[in-house]
Amino acid sequence: MASFDDLSEPLLVKIFSLLGPKDCFMASCVQRSWKATAGNDSLWRERCEKLWSVTERKDHQRTDMPSFMATYYCWDKEVGKYGALARRAHLAWHKIEQFCQQHHPAMLCTLRPGASEEDLDEVEKTIDLPFPEAFRLLYRFHDGQILDGTKSLLHGLFGWFGVYDALHCTAMLPITIVAKAYVAYGDKALAFFGGDTISTRSTPTESWGISLHARNICVDVKTGSVHVMSYRRMQPAVHKPGGGGIMEWFEAYADALDSGYFKLASKQARHGHGIAGISLIPRRPPGQVSMVTRGVRVSASVIFLPDDPLMAGGRYNFAYSISFELLSEDEQRAAWPPHAGPFRPLASVQLRSRHWVIRNAAGQVEHVVNGEAVIGEYPHLTFGEPSFEYQSCTHQQEPEGFMEGHFRFVEGSLAQPTGPEFDVQCPKFRLCMPDYIF
């Protein structure tokens, strides 16, 4: 009769994989050969991956561990009590860390080590309310950011955008700052999760020609709901049926980075030097639309502004970003319409004027805009050169509308035209509240 001693190692590993960690440990005490099987690295790697999506011998602070068994017990001790939330938090943080590692290592260096359970308990005592589990858990991986000096002005983890000379950039706040910034707002008890990038330091912004506007991400510690607060007004940060808490919001942001929806972009100072950060201007559909006319590509993106004092007369405010790019000769040829006659490449073009039509959700025209230049500039495009991009604002009384138009360009330049003027179409794009506000 066959016995357990006759079973092969792979088969024993398979049997042990069906046991829970405690039963696995008890079985390892039965005989010496089973102890080695119970500690098989592939067995514990499978458990780590299943529970927390962990595929390396590292703890939640990225510290090396001697084995996957040690990795498992460390993760279980540190975040096991959070159940399925721990896997979600780890996956989201991993996407953000991977984005920073690949595109912006300097931002990765701003992330602080995770807060301990004792640190979080102490802050809860300070505010006399418990944090939602998801809120606590996100801080177990990283305790906010440490930012210092003008060079980190745009290093806020939750991105930046600028319109004219106004700039918003939001960092993840350390838990000690969360405790100091805790506020009672109406019937809501708010814990600040993200704040402007000068919350924890003094940074001169005069040389940048900007004013840094405060914008905060807050969590209602009683309900777990997420809000954007600016200028002492609040807006829900999740606009979906049933709403959503901080974990869903955080996962959506991580997905936006991972998918290329948001990318790195630079802000130029008055004196020529620039600094890069995560731009909240959408860089792919559905947040961005593009169209090519005679070799000139126009791309348009929209950002919803929850509350902006620069905007008056409208309940719903939007910033939009428009970029122009002259394609290479090969790209122009590929995009040339068959009915347009013989192909004739453009070497350079210059913008003369703009034309916008803004409609409400029913398609009725609300505003028509005609004017010279864009934000006072007449961009001159040549292929092989960087695209030209600008931002402006609009507003409306309803939560949804549309905007479309065209731009008048001249071949060559305004001073020395080499051909006729022509209109470059900008496709229709939506002005609406997004599912998530970052």
Q: Comparing C-alpha atoms, which of 283, 303, 298 is closest to residue 393? A: 303
pLDDT at 205: 36
pLDDT at 270: 43
pLDDT at 212: 47
Q: State how far the Cα of 215 lies from the Cα of 194, in Å rounded to an integer.
A: 8
CB 192 within 8 A of CB 182: yes
The alpha carbon of 92 is separated from its chain's Cα centroid by a whole number of angstroms, namely 11
Q: How many CB atoms are closer than 10 A to CB 21?
A: 14
Q: Which amino acid is at 63?
A: T
Cα angle, residue 94 at apex, residues 132 and 154 outer, rounded to 5°: 85
pLDDT at 328: 93
The fold adopted by the segment(s) 4-82 is Monooxygenase (1.20.1280)
Q: Which residues contact 186 (CB under 8 A, 6 or more apart)?
A: none
Cis peptide before 286 (omega within 30 of 0): yes
pLDDT at 310: 46
The fold adopted by the segment(s) 84-258 is SMI1/KNR4-like (3.40.1580)
Residue 50 corresponds to which tokens in the numbers above?
Answer: 């299943």
Sign of the C-alpha dihedral, residues 225, 52, 278, 123? positive
Parallel/antiparallel/unpaired status of strands 211-212 and 166-172: parallel
Q: Which amino acid is at 206?
A: E
For residue 46, what are the CA distances in angstroms to 74, 184, 390?
A: 15, 45, 49
Domain boundaries, the chain: 4-82, 84-258, 281-432
CB 387 within 8 A of CB 281: no
Architecture of domain 281-432: Sandwich (2.60)
Q: What is the pTM of this model?
A: 0.86
Residue 63 corresponds to which tokens in the numbers above?
Answer: 């510290």
Q: State how far the Cα of 169 lies from the Cα of 213, in Å rounded to an integer.
A: 8
Q: State how far the Cα of 28 lies from the Cα of 365, in Å rounded to an integer.
A: 75
pLDDT at 187: 64
pLDDT by position in tens, the chain (length 438): 455 666 666 766 666 666 666 766 666 666 766 666 666 777 888 889 999 999 999 999 999 999 988 999 999 999 999 999 999 999 999 999 999 999 999 999 999 999 999 999 999 998 888 999 999 999 999 999 988 766 677 899 999 988 877 788 899 999 988 888 887 766 677 888 877 764 434 333 333 333 445 678 889 888 888 988 876 577 889 987 766 799 999 999 999 999 999 999 887 644 445 678 999 999 999 999 999 999 999 999 999 987 654 445 557 889 999 999 999 999 999 988 888 788 889 999 999 999 999 999 999 999 999 999 999 999 999 988 889 999 999 988 888 999 999 999 999 999 999 999 999 999 999 999 899 999
Q: State how far the Cα of 255 lies from the Cα of 174, in Å rounded to an integer.
A: 23
417 by DSSP, 3-state: which?
Answer: strand
pLDDT at 401: 95
In terms of Cβ atoms closer than 10 Å to its own Cβ (0-12, 13-18, 19+), residue 275 is middle
